[in-house]
Structure 1
Amino acid sequence: MDLDLTPEDLAFRDEVRAFLAAELTPELREAGARQTSVFVEPRHSLAWQKILHARGWVAPSWPEEYGGPGWTEMQRHIFAAECAAASAPSLAPMGLRMVGPCIMRYGTPEQKAHYLPRILSGEDYWCQGYSEPGSGSDLASLQLRAVSDGDHYVLSGSKIWTTHAHHANRMFCLVRTSSEGKPQQGITFLLLDMATPGLKVDPIITLAGEHEVNQVFFDEVRVPKSGRLGEENQGWTVAKYLLEFERGGGSAPGLKVALERVRGMAGELAADPHFRRRLAEREIAVQAVEMSELIVLSALAGGRNPGPASSMLKTQGAETMQRIDELAVDAAGAYAAVFQPHAREPGSNAPAIGPEHSLTAMARYLNNRAASIYGGSNEIQRDIIARLVLGL
């Protein structure tokens, strides 16, 4: 695996930097710099998505036939790194990185023609209906019932921890269509409209004081069977494919930026040997994540999907970010404990208490505690690694 940039890669990097300098507005940079989780409010992320879509750069990993830019794996890595370094706000991953690839693989021609252009443009904003009360990491135990009724399924039950369901107009959802056989054998994958009658979204406010997740209730919600992705009772296969994209890749550039942010916050702590040792340990961990991601990128360049290696990347990335967050809270000191969500809002005129770099330290720490749970807990990922990688 050759990690040296070719002249073509260097020229591409310069092109990306020039684009970011010209198109990434101060408002969008502020939104990216104050981002406290994977998700940015749609008023910022969709504004940036519109700019990228106009350039044809909104979906770096998509094939050209579906609207992707046709980049090499190294170009995608360069683009992600430059966006992170420039504080570009993250795009919502549910459509572009998760359900989009599933539609490409399992969708009908009609589903591809309808949904994929709308994902690229941001016209459809997606949320994920996977977790349920009592069925988090044990996803196969989900109980949201979908009863067949002519050309529709009738859904009854609830989903929880549904990120940005209050913003989304579409949901991809796992439902139970059969109770026979193994639990995985009775699951179906549905695409549905969030405006469907009988669907209700209730907010869940996080410890960081943010409204990002929700509980969604289904009271005899009628979903057309034309919204089914793949065959009935075969949704587990689609879900596993999607989770490979949710769990793997793309975290090293963000980890590097987070580590540099901590360096800038350190102040007097930079002279403390214990703090310096912990900082060095985090730097080594970030380098390990980056090397793992590059190995996966090399495999992808050969036409293979992430496979079980995505579990390793998910575990490495989540735990390394959490340890960097701990350092940031230490560096922020007493200012980390100040509850000031309004001052964190991009464009807010609320005065910040303490230095700017400490404003988001605690919110990032609290939000990222969930990173080792969502997408499948890290304990589950280690079980996957043991079985499918180590053969235990």
Structure 2
Amino acid sequence: MTTEPTERPMQQKKYDGYKSYSYLEPHVDYKVFPLAQEINRVPSRKVDVSPEEEERVRRIFQEQLIISLHDHCFVAPEDLDQFMEFRRWGRDWTGYEGLSVSGLDCVFDNLMNGTAMITSRGGWKWDDIIYDLGMRLSDIDHQDMVVLCRTTQDIVNAKRNGQIAFVVSIEGAAMIENELDRLDILYGLGVRCLGIAYSEGNQLGGGLKEPRDGGLTSFGRKAVQRMNRLGIAIDVSHSGDQTSLDTIEVSDKPVFITHAGARALWNSNRLKPDDVIKACAEKGGVIGIEAAPHTTISEKNSRHSIESYMEHYEYCVNLVGIDHVAFGPDVLFGDHVGLHTTLSAALSIGASRGHLPYEKVPYVDGIENPAEAFPNIVRWLVKHGYSDSDIGKAVGGNIMRVLKEVWYR
């Protein structure tokens, strides 16, 4: 089911209609998979604001840097039974059309990470990660709206030029194995944000699904130090609690929790306890609130929607202050709920669910995909009385402050 196009609160980016891999011949150079609709795929609601408030939203998008700390801006196949074959081809379609109306000036895109299974069904292999990265950047280099981001100035320039800065991020470091110099290689290929561990533990430390988190390993400590020196932002979103705390302590630079929420609101390993959020903030870091289906819910709001999502945002703001909270929606173009079902083992979905009953939703109402996420987030903040200055911090300013400390330039 689709709806009529909704009014967008910002000018579109300089989009010329390019579709991924248009420089190749379909059915000859690659197999064609029918893809999901990027805009208005489902009747996800727009946050209701007055005309005066909508005008203020437009102004905020014009004046402030809008940065997503964590998303996957690819377009999933319509038929998710074909997803594993789709992945084996190694060609992810970037949702350029959806991004063109997203209002984003910069997005930390996390590629396909552990579901890049070109050579292995287990994921997280070095060859697969490099294949995934190179293929995606090859496509991006054939158009002009989305541009590879290596520096903070690239973000500023992208906004000025009507473009979107694409920050290459990877959610876990399993693929570097015990090879410290692979961090330098990833940096050289454009990676600017890297997670310590995904749900499974690795050579660096424990993931959130492990029965006992032993913390950051000796090799993990060396890796953190190398990332500090290189200028790679560190992410502990999927790391175990002790590994997260150790990483924050060992790092000379602020650390990101790019996509999570507050475990105090919902008892799930996927969310962070207060002590980890506080430690991150005390070191100058930022937590981005995520909206992947059935994550940021609460006892008060057990049906996942933008209301439960923003409850986690306000909890974290009250806990550590607005200078240390941002948004990392972790959304994509397509049936995210269905994709979780298809990839439940690869993504450790069961290990990251809460321990209380909740209502399963077909999509996260109000924040279903990258095209609508930030327009609705800003509408919500405007509607709830946040100042332009505080909104500016939350939607990009806080992230830029950290990047200026962490990145080499």
The two structures share one fold, judged by TM-score above 0.5: no
Question: What is the TM-score with the length of structure 1 in the denominator?
Answer: 0.28
Higher RCO (C-alpha 8 Å, min separation 6): 2
Please identify the structure whose Cα radius of gyration is greater: 1
TM-score by length of 2: 0.28
Q: Quick check: which one's helix share is greater?
A: 1
